[in-house]
Amino acid sequence: MANLALGIDTGGTFTDGVIFDLDKKTVEATTKVETTRHNLTLAINRCLDNLVARLEEKKGKQVDLRQLRMVSLSTTLATNAIVEGQGVEVGLIQIGFKAREGLPTPYYAVIPGGCTIKGRIKEEVDLDFAKKAILEIKDQVDAFAVSGYLSIRNPVQEMQVTELIRELTGYPVVAAHHLSSDLGMHERTVTAVLNARLMPLITDLMDSVKEGMDRHGINAPLMVVRGDGSLISESKAREKPIETILSGPAASIIGALTLTGIQEGIVIDMGGTTTDVAVLRDGRPSLNLEGAEVGGWLTRVKAAQITTIGLGGDSLIQVSKNAILSVGPQRVFPLSWIATQFPHLTDELEEIDPVDYLSMETQPATILTYIRDPFKIKLTKTEEQILQIIREKPHTLHHISKKLDKEIDLLPWRRLVSVASVHRASLTPTDILHVTGKLNLWNKQAAELGTAMLARRYNAEIEEFAEVVMEEIIYKLAALTLDRLLAEEGAKFSLTDENSGNYLLKKVLSSKKESQNDQINFSAALKHPMVAVGAPVDAYFPELADRLQAELHLPQFADVANAVGTVSGKAVERATVLVKPGEGGGFIVHMPNQREFFMIFDEAIDYACKEGKKFVYEQASETGAVNIETILDRQDRYSNLVGASEHENSDQRIFIESIIDISAVGRPWN
Domains and CATH numbers, the chain: 4-83+202-261 (3.30.420.40), 315-466 (no CATH), 571-667 (no CATH)
Q: What is the DSSP string of 594-620?
A: -EEEESSHHHHHHHHHHHHHHHHHHHH
What's the longest Cα–Cα distance across the chain?
89
Decide: 91 and 140 in contact? Cβ < 8 Å.
yes
CB-based contacts of 23: which residues, under 8 Å, 6+ apart?
2, 3
Decide: 349 and 394 in contact? Cβ < 8 Å.
no
Name the β-bridge partners of 173.
144
Mean pLDDT of the chain: 87
pLDDT over 90 (residue 268): yes
- Rounded distance, CA 225 to CA 230, Å? 6
What is residue 151's DSSP assignment?
T
Distances (CA, A) of 464 to 434, 435, 474, 542: 15, 12, 15, 20
- Of 12-16, 365-369, 391-395, 611-615, the least confident: 12-16
Name the β-bridge partners of 368.
395, 424
Please give the angle made by the CA atoms of 324, 326 and 329, to the nearest 5 degrees: 155
Decide: 8 and 29 in contact? Cβ < 8 Å.
no
- Rounded distance, CA 15 to CA 74, Å? 10
Q: Which of 172, 314, 303 is nearest to 242 (CA)?
A: 303
Q: What is the pLDDT of residue 34?
A: 84
Q: What is the pLDDT of residue 512?
A: 58
- Rounded distance, CA 209 to CA 454, Å? 41
Q: Which of 152, 158, 147, 161 is nearest to 117 (CA)?
A: 152
> At 253, phi and psi to the nearest 5?
-65, -50
Name the β-bridge partners of 294.
297
pTM for the structure as a whole: 0.79
Amino acid identity, position 191 = T
Q: What is the pLDDT of residues 548-605, one digit of tens each?
A: 999 999 999 988 999 999 998 888 888 889 999 988 889 999 988 788 999 999 999 9
Average pLDDT, integer, range 443-461: 95
- Rounded distance, CA 441 to CA 337, Å? 8
Sort strands 90-95 and 107-111 into parallel, antiparallel or unpaired: parallel
| Per-range mean pLDDT, top range of 9-23, 140-154, 176-190, 333-347 | 333-347
**Helix segments in 216-328, DSSP class H:** 234-239, 247-260
- Rounded distance, CA 383 to CA 414, Å? 10
Q: What is the pLDDT of residue 587?
A: 93
Q: Which of 586, 579, 637, 635 is nearest to 606 (CA)?
A: 579
- Rounded distance, CA 137 to CA 146, Å? 13
Q: What is the pLDDT of residue 1?
A: 57
Average pLDDT, integer, range 50-72: 86
- Of 97-111, 443-457, 493-507, 644-658, the least confident: 644-658
Which H or E run includes 336? helix 335-341
Residue, of 353 and 136, whose pLDDT is higher: 136
**Helix segments in 15-174, DSSP class H:** 40-59, 77-84, 127-138, 156-169
Total number of residues shown for the chain = 670
- Under the banding of pLDDT at 50, 70 and 90, the label for residue 105 is confident
**Helix, strand, coil tally for the chain in percent (to 5):** 40, 25, 35
Q: Which of 241, 149, 238, 161 is nearest to 194 (CA)?
A: 241
Distances (CA, A) of 465 to 67, 330, 450, 471, 659: 53, 20, 12, 10, 58
pLDDT over 60 (residue 647): no
* 3-class DSSP state of 115: strand
- Under the banding of pLDDT at 50, 70 and 90, the label for residue 391 is very high
- Rounded distance, CA 212 to CA 206, Å? 10
Q: How many C-beta atoms lie closer than 10 Å to residue 506's C-beta?
A: 16
- Rounded distance, CA 327 to CA 659, Å? 47
Decide: 206 and 222 in contact? Cβ < 8 Å.
yes
- Under the banding of pLDDT at 50, 70 and 90, the label for residue 461 is very high
Decide: 272 and 12 in contact? Cβ < 8 Å.
yes
